Amino acid sequence: MAVPLFNVGDRVVVRTTPRFPTVNPRTPEYAKGHRATVVATYGRVENPLDHHAAYEPLYTVVFEGREVFGSRASHEVVAEMHEEWLDADS
Amino acid sequence: MARNVPVLRRDDHRHEEIGAPMSDDHEHEHEHEHEHPPGHMHLEDPDANVAAIVADLEYFRRKRLESRLLFMARRGYLPLPELLKAAQRIGPMDNEDPHEDLDDRIKALQERLNSVVNGILSLQVPIKRAAIAIEDTRLERGDYDERFRLAKRVYPEPLLERIAAVEEVLGDCELLIAAAQDALVASGEVAPGSFEQRIEALKSIGWRNGARIVARAWVDEGFRERLLTQGRETVRELDIPPGKLGILGIAENSDDVHNVVVCTLCSCYPHDLLGNPPWWYRTDGYKDRVIADPRGMLKEAFDLEIPEGKQIRVHDSTSDVRWMVIPQRPEGTEGLSEEELAELVTPESLVGTALAGQIPASDPHVARGLDGVVEG
């Protein structure tokens, strides 16, 4: 079992393409290239009613609205992202 | 434009929100405006009611019914000739003549749609030869590749022709469902009685479960804590089947934070616990605007003004974490029983587009703006 790469509090950047070919080819378009903070980790989630094989480790990340949608946005976006879509923000 | 606040009847939320026609494929449709005098006792806006029915019908027909049948045909679990033979065994379906009265005719559409949706969902019972996951139909219905998208049906104007077309498509769906059920039982893939059992079970799933969960969380601090920390399993305390479709995310509103739920990638929702979300939840108009400008969207489309000082947090659901909102308990409700408190919770308040105790308003004129259609 892979050890999750990220921990709560880590800063991450959403990739525009997954780090490797993945059975879960989805991540929201608006998030790509933007920075977020990890607020929860789940590891690999078994969800057999939804998908056959467990997807990569899952995180809840928070985006500042203004970082994604421009300076007039004041809200937060909370989204779940799988590990192959995330890089460490260095 | 001044409009009456639409009436939300609590016995069946799904088809009775008043709203503009919105599609999930950016195919915009134009509606005629119908103004009614104050005190009008009929459906407030027949066009908008039928538009909501069309949106639901097309979603369930394309994304849940036909895509699943195609998947089962592709894999050989339900070959198309078996479906045809089953249809021959069943013979013509006898449909009643439509009501003369327009309101009765539209209400009959809503009831028929409810039954078609349950029939479609019943086809998700396990089959002997394979475990079919939602992911399989997601591929099949073109979520990842537009070439797999099933074409949308054209529903003509004016309204009466539109209604007749909806009746025809409902009849087609009823036949497909009956044939699929018959064929799967005939081939031994599904045990006799399984579909009927599933339909009975589906009747206990719905947004009222959410209302009961919220009311208990309001009156029982221990329950609230367990719900926030342990999630889905906690609802067993209310004798509500918790479901098992991923993790249940709980977003609790407070004096400082207002939460709203969306699924921008498809329409993920804890539907094995709370039933189907309101029809507009699946529209691009809702998804695109709530994620980028929730404050503006809530105000314009739902008449919900969140004070400037209050943070708005938009939860973008995925298949693995599906969110529900715990709205704030309205002021002045100290004397109410748990059952009475549950009556204050609406499907909209569980998504965050309304507060508890507030009749939600989805003005057709502004709601149309969600899909970017400009009047004129």
| pLDDT class of B129 with cuts at 50, 70, 90 | very high
B233-253: pLDDT as tens digits = 999 999 998 888 899 999 999
Chain B residues with CB under 8 Å of A73 CB are: 292-293
Q: Provide the number of structural domains found in chain A.
A: 1
Q: Say if residue B193 is in the same domain as residue B282.
A: no
Q: Say if residue B238 is in the same domain as residue B157.
A: no
**H/E stretch holding A63:** strand A58-64
> Of B135, B244, B251, which has the smallest distance from its Cβ to A51's Cβ?
B135
Q: Say if residue B251 is in the same domain as residue B115.
A: no
Which of B182, B202, B222 corresponds to the end of one domain? Answer: B202
Task: Look at residue B260 and give its three-state secondary structure.
Answer: strand
| Assigned domain for A69 exists | yes
Query: What is the CA angle B10-B13-B16, rounded to 5?
Result: 105
Q: State the residue range of the domain holding A22.
A: 11-88
Q: Say if residue B297 is in the same domain as residue B361.
A: yes
What is the CATH number for A35?
2.30.30.50
> Of A52, A75, A80, which has the smallest distance from its Cβ to B318's Cβ?
A80
Q: Say if residue B94 is in the same domain as residue B181.
A: yes
| Nearest Cα residue to B291 out of B261, B266, B269, B268 | B261
Instruction: Give the other-Cβ count within 10 Å of B110's Cβ.
Output: 18
Phi and psi at residue B342, in whole multiples of 5°?
-60, -30
| Assigned domain for B164 exists | yes
**Residue B79 buriedness (CB in 10 A; 0-12 / 13-18 / 19+):** middle
Q: Say if residue B218 is in the same domain as residue B142.
A: no
B227-237: pLDDT as tens digits = 999 999 999 99
Q: Say if residue B213 is in the same domain as residue B270.
A: yes
Q: Would you say how long chain A is, in residues?
A: 90
Q: What per-residue confidence (pLDDT) applies to B117?
A: 94
Which of B172, B202, B232 corresponds to the end of one domain? Answer: B202
- What pTM was estimated for this model as a whole? 0.83
Q: How far is A2 from chain B (nearest CA, A)?
A: 18
| Assigned domain for A46 exists | yes
Q: Which residues contact B146 (CB under 8 A, 6 or more apart)?
A: none
ipTM, 2 decimals? 0.96
Q: How far is A23 from chain B (nearest CA, A)?
A: 10
Taking CA–CA distances from B321, the nearest residue in chain A reads A80
| Assigned domain for A43 exists | yes
Q: Which of A17-26, A36-45, B62-71, B231-240 has the lowest mean pLDDT?
A: A17-26
Q: Provide the number of structural domains found in chain B.
A: 2
